[in-house]
């Protein structure tokens, strides 16, 4: 691949990270008019539609190139494995997304929420211990650095986490489990259909909880239309499409580093759209956490993980 083309894909993936990072601000704005499950349910309905359309387009392209061949088992909509994978990861994504959405309500900065969520990149290799994987000394060093950074980012005068910090940290753990689950299934199924079923599961489960625990109405949903459209169409649909297109054409380490810039862009979104700023102490914690995230992704021999 030519260097200019490679740079183009890198810039496109950086745009994807920008979209994801700014989504934290829109998620916060959406809470002004809707409940967390209403916001999650409606945004993932849109994301499902966008990814399904993309799946139809890519399938049409495959058939035009291979008219006489059939799709492999895990690449058909009728595949039980595809639906099993999508539903399992969808339930995990439902838990993680709603923990994040509720946590944003109780945290004082979407930038902080972005950095805590990005902890999943450090948590993934740690959870790998339970799957029989060994950690290098560098990974353990990153764990320590990220914990120190988390301390500076979240602790105030008293030695305790806020409710929002704990919810978002829990969300990072569930995201890490979801990533490991995706890693288990992704080689056996069509990734676009996989994501479509995953998003469909999130929308169905969240909407069921929405009708049980909240009182959604079209007026409140329309009042939050811009945040929902952004989080659903751009962050969910377009963001995922950019990810799968660019990751297949870039070095995994480079791709992971570019995607981790989501945390930095969440701070930008909080400042531009919500007028939020990090204190010097919180900024120091963010720098430490971002350093740990970057080091984890460039350690030789370690498998890079990506967010769905």
User: Which pair of tokens denotes residue 301?
Assistant: 């021999």
Distant-in-sequence, close-in-space partners of 44: CB < 8 Å, separation ≥ 6: 97, 199, 200, 202, 203, 206, 232, 236
From 283, 295, 301, select the one nearest 133 (Cα to Cα): 301
From 119, 122, 112, select the one nearest 152 (Cα to Cα): 112
Could you write out the DSSP letters of every residue in 228-254?
HHIIIIIIIIIHHHHHHHHHTTS-HHH
Distance, CA of 99 to chain centre: 13
* pLDDT of res. 231: 95
* pLDDT of res. 159: 56
- Say how far apart CA 44 and CA 38 lie, in whole Å: 10
φ and ψ of 216, to 5 deg: -70, 145
- Say how far apart CA 214 and CA 37 lie, in whole Å: 8
Distant-in-sequence, close-in-space partners of 129: CB < 8 Å, separation ≥ 6: 135
Where does residue 284 rank: exposed (0-12), middle (13-18), buried (19+ CB within 10 A)? middle
More confident residue, 2 or 34: 34
pLDDT digits (tens, 9 = 90+) for 113-157: 998 988 888 888 888 888 777 778 888 888 889 888 888 887 765
- Say how far apart CA 138 and CA 136 lie, in whole Å: 5
Q: What is the pTM of this model?
A: 0.85
Where does residue 267 rank: exposed (0-12), middle (13-18), buried (19+ CB within 10 A)? buried
User: Which pair of tokens denotes residue 101?
Assistant: 């959405």
pLDDT digits (tens, 9 = 90+) for 66-96: 665 566 666 789 899 999 999 999 999 999 9
From 155, 99, 113, select the one nearest 270 (Cα to Cα): 113
- Provide the percentage of residues in the chain whose pLDDT is more than 90: 42
Left, alpha or beta for 305 (phi > 0: left; psi -120 to 50: alpha)? beta
**Is residue 199 scored above 90 in pLDDT?**
yes
Mean pLDDT (whole number) for 173-191: 87
pLDDT digits (tens, 9 = 90+) for 39-71: 999 999 999 999 999 899 888 777 666 665 566
- Provide the percentage of residues in the chain whose pLDDT is more than 70: 88
Give the single-character DSSP code of 74.
G
Distant-in-sequence, close-in-space partners of 123: CB < 8 Å, separation ≥ 6: 172, 173, 175, 176
pLDDT digits (tens, 9 = 90+) for 234-274: 998 888 788 877 866 777 657 767 887 888 899 999 999 99
């Amino acid at each position: 691949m030519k260097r200019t083309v490679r740079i183009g894909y890198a810039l496109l993936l950086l745009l994807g990270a920008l979209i994801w990072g700014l989504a934290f601000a829109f998620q916060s704005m959406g809470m002004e008019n809707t409940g967390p499950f209403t916001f999650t349910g409606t945004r993932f309905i849109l994301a499902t539609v966008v990814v399904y359309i993309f799946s139809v387009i890519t399938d049409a392209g495959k058939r035009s190139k291979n008219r006489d061949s059939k799709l492999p088992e895990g690449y058909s909509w009728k595949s039980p494995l595809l639906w099993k994978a999508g539903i399992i990861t969808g339930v995990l994504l439902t838990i993680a997304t709603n923990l994040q959405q509720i946590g944003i309500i109780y945290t004082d900065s979407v930038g902080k929420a972005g950095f805590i969520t990005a902890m999943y990149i450090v948590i993934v290799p740690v959870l790998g211990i339970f799957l029989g994987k060994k950690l290098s000394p560098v990974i353990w060093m990153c764990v320590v650095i990220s914990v120190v950074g988390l301390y500076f980012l979240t602790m105030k005068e008293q030695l305790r986490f806020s409710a929002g910090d704990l919810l978002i940290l829990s969300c990072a753990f569930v995201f890490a489990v979801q990533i490991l689950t995706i890693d288990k299934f992704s080689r056996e199924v069509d990734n676009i259909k996989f994501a479509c079923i995953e998003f469909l599961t999130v929308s169905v489960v969240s909407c069921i909880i929405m009708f049980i625990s909240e009182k959604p109405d079209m007026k409140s949903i329309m009042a939050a239309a811009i945040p929902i459209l952004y989080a659903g169409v751009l962050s969910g649909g377009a963001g995922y499409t950019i990810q799968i297109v660019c990751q297949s054409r870039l070095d995994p380490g480079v791709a992971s580093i570019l995607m981790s810039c989501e945390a930095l862009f969440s701070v930008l979104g909080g400042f531009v759209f919500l007028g939020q700023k990090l204190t010097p102490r919180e900024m120091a914690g963010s720098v430490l956490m971002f350093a740990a995230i970057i080091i984890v992704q460039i350690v030789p021999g370690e498998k890079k993980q990506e967010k769905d």
